């Protein structure tokens, strides 16, 4: 039996490396091609000019104003979307758990609804709503953070809900209240520190989502990173290929870091 | 003010926001699909869905989604199985799942570009094959910027998504079950056919449905890749939104959007049903 298990472990390891190896090759090939394309100099030479330009921001702004505008818009969109998602969702989800358990199903339904409504459909319905947004606060691209918060709801909700399920919010809140804490203190100093990793993962997922969003920005005629990249792709493919690869790598780094956050949480819980 | 009312006040911001930016847009689509240009109720937009070009777009969208969902599900399940044989905290697993997260969700324009750089006209692989092996992959016409290209790029983001959604089910399979099968004299084939297979089947089918919905809803990749025409529904909606629309057809875009929601909602409902079946033994 032990020999059988060991033999199988070895066979599985071989399978694992073959499958992961082959698929890694297939999946890295297009990304490598992006890199190769952006470092292609005149006459089969290798050049890093595009990448040097990418870190030289004043020059970048001057050479590709469209790209710069898009990057700036996306930067603000990331900040505002994360802020609004957390400010809106965390207190609501906690509050519903504590005081309005009957609304829980409804809140969950609304938060997961964007999964069944493709962005391309949402944008059709958002057009008239955004006509009002323009009327009240103007047509800046940054106002897209309102729509992005909706797109982020399912992912952020799941992360926060999982985090809250792991702790006993009600007991914690009651304990704090009986010691004289106000609701703000309960939220800020009792609940929030206990779901820190869930909040962090909600934030990371929102960042990745906003960095990659194209559909809504493009169809509402706003600027963001992806719209700029797509626009530039037609005239100066090299720089837009480089930026899109950089954004992809950035998103990967974020999610990789996130995988460590998740692990710490599990380990904490396993300690009796 | 009663306590109950005060409690409800706490959730007002959330409901107002979701109401304005999610419920109203949904209603705009759902109601607009049944309104004529003059604002009166009509079924014209919905009956326009039976027009040849729209039916074709829906058929192409469905075929594209189904083909890439099945390809993605099979290959993704294999990769997922390879991953669960590793330790949960191992680097290979962490790197692959993070990479899958990025490629599955982030994609869009970047993936379209990546494939242009790979097998576009002056792509890395295209040039290599042509110059070194004398193979011209576009001998039969440039297929990358059309439906075959979409199948390829969509599969590229479906496989990682399958890994992410199928991994929890694979993790739920206990090694003890296999040992139990073996100690009772069952072969590997018997184990997969009679134990692991039936347990994983609902999760596998459910994940495939999710992949279908994902491909069906996707827009960015197609928008960045397809230069001519609008072969699939999301691109038809784009042209309904951006181009000058024919008189009397302003709301056909909304009817198409509603059609998409119906398809996705049916698929997601089936998914939820299968998910419930899976969760019975998963935890």
Closest C-alpha to A253, from A219, A216, A204 = A204
DSSP for B232-259 reads SHHHHHHHHHHSPPPTT-TTHHHHHHHH
Please check the confidence at residue B282 and state whether its pLDDT lies above 70. no
ipTM of the complex: 0.86
CA distance B140 to chain A (A): 22
**How many whole angstroms separate alpha carbon A264 and alpha carbon B1?**
44
| pLDDT attached to residue A262 | 56
d(CA A227, CA A233): 10
User: Using the beta-carbon criterion (under 8 Å), do B110 and A256 form an inter-chain contact?
Assistant: no
CB A232 within 8 A of CB A240: yes
Core vs surface per residue B106-121: b (16+ CB within 10 A) or e: bbbbbbbbbbbbbbbe
User: Domain for residue B21, yes or no?
Assistant: no
A272 or A32: which leads in pLDDT: A32
- The predicted pLDDT at position B119 comes to 87
On whether the CB atoms of residues B211 and B161 are closer than 8 A, the answer is yes
Q: How far apart are CA B74 and CA B72, in angstroms?
A: 6
Stretch A171-182: mean pLDDT: 90
Per-residue pLDDT at A271 exceeds 50 = no
Q: Domain segments of chain A: what residues?
A: 2-38, 64-270
Asked if A95 has any chain B CB less than 8 Å from its own CB, the reply is: yes
Phi, psi of A18 (to 5 degrees): -65, -50
**Residue A37 confidence (pLDDT) above 90:** no
Q: Does B273 touch chain A (CB under 8 A)?
A: no
Long-range contacts of A109-113 (CB under 8 A, 24+ apart): A110/A153, A110/B18, A110/B22, A110/B23, A111/A153, A111/A154, A111/A156, A111/A157, A112/A153, A112/A154, A112/A157, A113/A153, A113/A154, A113/B22, A113/B26
Q: Which residues in chain A have their CB less than 8 angstroms from residue B116's CB?
A: 237
Grade residue B202 by pLDDT with cuts at 50, 70 and 90. confident
Judge whether residue A108 has pLDDT over 60.
yes
Does the CB of A59 have a partner CB in chain B at under 8 Å?
no
Assign A254 a pLDDT band (cuts: 50, 70, 90). confident
Chain mean position to CA B264: 10
CA distances from B97 to A264, B37, B86, B167 (A): 17, 48, 12, 9
Q: What angle do CA B138, B142, B143 make, to 5 degrees?
A: 100
At A74, is the pLDDT very low, low, confident or very high (cuts 50, 70, 90)? very high
Of the ranges A225-239, B7-21, B179-193, which is most confident? Answer: B7-21
Q: How many CB pairs under 8 A join A and B?
A: 231
Least-confidence region, from A23-37, B156-170, B240-254 = B240-254
Which CATH number applies to A64-270: 3.90.1150.10, 2.102.10.10, 1.10.1760.20, 1.10.3720.10? 1.10.3720.10
- Cα separation of B254 and B240, whole Å? 9
Q: A54-68, A76-90, A202-216 — which is least confidently predicted?
A: A54-68
Residue B180 has pLDDT above 90, yes or no: no
Please determine, for residue B168, whether its predicted confidence score (pLDDT) is greater than 90. no
Banded model confidence at residue B72, pLDDT cuts 50, 70, 90: very high
**Average pLDDT score, chain A:** 86
Side-chain-side CA neighbours of B25 within 13 Å: the count stands at: 29
Cβ of residue B110 closer than 8 Å to a chain A Cβ: yes
Domain contains B262? yes
CB contact under 8 A, B96 and A15: no
Restricting to A residues 114-143, those with a Cβ less than 8 Å away from any Cβ of B are: 114-129
Contact A163/A157 with Cβ under 8 angstroms? no
Over A44-88, what HEC string results? CCECCHHHHHHHCHHHHHHHCHHHHHHHHHHHHHHHHHHHHHHHH
Q: How far is A151 from chain B (nearest CA, A)?
A: 9
Q: CB–CB of A100 and B253 under 8 A?
A: no
Residue B68 has pLDDT above 90, yes or no: yes
Looking up tokens 């990304």 gives A31
Examine residue B226 and state whether it is found in any structural domain, yes or no.
yes
Residue B64 lies in a domain: yes
Q: How high is the pLDDT of residue A106?
A: 93
Of B165-169, B204-208, B239-243, B269-273, the one with minimum mean pLDDT is: B239-243
pLDDT > 90? residue A214 = yes
On the question of pLDDT at B1 being above 80, the answer is no
- Over residues B219-234, the mean pLDDT reads 88
Count: domains in chain B: 1
Distance CA A60, CA A66 (A): 10
The answer to whether residue B159 scores a pLDDT higher than 90 is yes
Share of chain B above pLDDT 70, in %: 96
Question: Does residue B239 register a pLDDT over 90?
Answer: no
Percent with pLDDT over 70 in chain A: 95
CA nearest neighbour of A19 among B88, B84, B217, B189: B84
Mean pLDDT, rounded, for B77-101: 85
Which tokens is B56 given?
Answer: 């074709």
Question: B244: domain range?
Answer: 53-282
Q: What is the mean pLDDT of residues B25-29?
A: 92
* Stretch A225-247: mean pLDDT: 88
| Backbone CA torsion sign across B128, B133, B137, B141 | positive
Residue in chain B lying closest to A231 (CA): B224
* Cβ contacts of A237 on chain B, cutoff 8 Å: 113, 116
Q: Is B268 helix (H, G, I), strand (E, B) or coil?
A: helix
Q: What are the angstrom distances between the C-alpha of B220 and each of B103, B124, B235?
A: 13, 23, 10
**Tokens representing B42?**
């009509």
Q: Rg of chain B over CA atoms, in angstroms? A: 23
Task: Assess contact for B227 and B180: CB atoms under 8 A.
Answer: no
- Residue B13, pLDDT above cutoff 90: yes
Residue A137 above 50 pLDDT?
yes
Measured between CB atoms, does B272 come within 8 Å of chain A? no
Spatial distance between the Cα atoms of B190 and B237, rounded to a whole number of angstroms: 49
pLDDT digits (tens, 9 = 90+) for A140-165: 889 999 999 999 999 899 889 888 88
B98: closest CA among B168, B163, B153, B171?
B163
pLDDT-derived band of residue A266, with 50, 70 and 90 as boundaries? very low
What CATH number is given to the structural domain containing B270?
1.10.3720.10
């Amino acid at each position: 039996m032990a020999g059988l298990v060991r033999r199988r472990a070895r066979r599985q390891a071989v399978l694992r490396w073959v499958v992961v190896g082959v698929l890694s090759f297939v999946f890295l090939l297009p990304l490598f091609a992006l890199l190769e394309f952006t470092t292609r100099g005149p006459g089969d030479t290798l050049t890093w000019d595009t990448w040097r330009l990418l870190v030289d921001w004043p020059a970048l702004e001057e050479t590709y104003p469209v790209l710069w505008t898009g990057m700036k818009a996306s930067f603000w969109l990331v900040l505002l979307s994360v802020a609004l998602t957390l400010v809106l969702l965390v207190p609501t989800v906690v509050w519903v758990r504590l005081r309005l358990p009957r609304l829980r199903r409804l809140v969950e339904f609304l938060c997961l609804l964007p999964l069944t409504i493709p962005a391309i459909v949402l944008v059709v319905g958002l057009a008239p709503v955004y006509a009002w947004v323009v009327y009240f606060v103007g047509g800046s691209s940054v106002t897209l953070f309102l729509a992005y918060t909706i797109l982020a709801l399912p992912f952020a909700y799941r992360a926060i809900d999982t985090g809250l399920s792991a702790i006993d919010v009600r007991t914690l809140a009651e304990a704090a209240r009986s010691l004289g804490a106000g609701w703000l203190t309960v939220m800020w100093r009792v609940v929030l520190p206990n779901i820190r990793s869930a909040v962090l993962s909600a934030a990371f997922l929102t960042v990745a989502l906003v960095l990659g969003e194209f559909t809504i920005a493009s169809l509402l005629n706003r600027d963001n990173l992806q719209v700029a990249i797509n626009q530039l792709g037609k005239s100066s493919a090299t720089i837009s290929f480089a930026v899109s690869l950089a954004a992809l790598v950035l998103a990967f780094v974020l999610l990789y870091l996130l995988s460590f956050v998740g692990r710490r949480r599990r380990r904490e819980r396993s300690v009796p | 003010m009663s306590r109950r009312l005060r409690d409800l006040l706490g959730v007002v911001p959330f409901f107002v926001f979701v109401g304005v930016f999610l419920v109203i847009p949904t209603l705009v689509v759902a109601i607009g699909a049944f309104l004529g240009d003059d604002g009166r109720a009509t079924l014209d937009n919905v009956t326009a869905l039976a027009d040849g070009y729209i039916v074709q777009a829906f058929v192409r969208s469905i075929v594209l989604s189904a083909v890439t969902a099945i390809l993605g599900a099979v290959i993704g399940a294999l990769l997922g199985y390879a991953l669960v044989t590793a330790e949960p905290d191992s680097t290979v697993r962490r790197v692959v799942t993070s990479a899958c997260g990025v490629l599955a969700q982030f994609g869009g324009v970047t993936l379209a570009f990546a494939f242009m750089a790979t097998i576009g006209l002056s792509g890395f692989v295209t040039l290599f094959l042509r110059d070194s092996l004398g193979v011209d992959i576009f001998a039969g016409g440039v297929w990358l910027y059309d439906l075959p290209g979409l199948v390829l790029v969509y599969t590229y983001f479906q496989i990682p998504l399958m890994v992410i959604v199928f991994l929890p089910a694979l993790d739920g399979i206990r090694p003890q079950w296999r040992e139990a099968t073996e100690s009772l004299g069952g072969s590997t084939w018997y184990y997969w056919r009679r134990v692991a297979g039936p347990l994983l089947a609902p999760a596998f089918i459910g994940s495939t449905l999710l992949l279908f919905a994902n491909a069906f809803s996707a827009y960015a990749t197609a928008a960045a890749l397809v230069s001519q025409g609008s072969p699939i529904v999301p691109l038809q909606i784009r042209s309904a939104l951006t181009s000058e629309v024919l008189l009397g057809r302003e709301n056909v875009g909304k009817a198409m959007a509603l059609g998409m929601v119906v398809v996705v909602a049916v698929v997601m409902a089936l998914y939820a049903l299968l998910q419930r079946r899976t969760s019975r033994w998963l935890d």
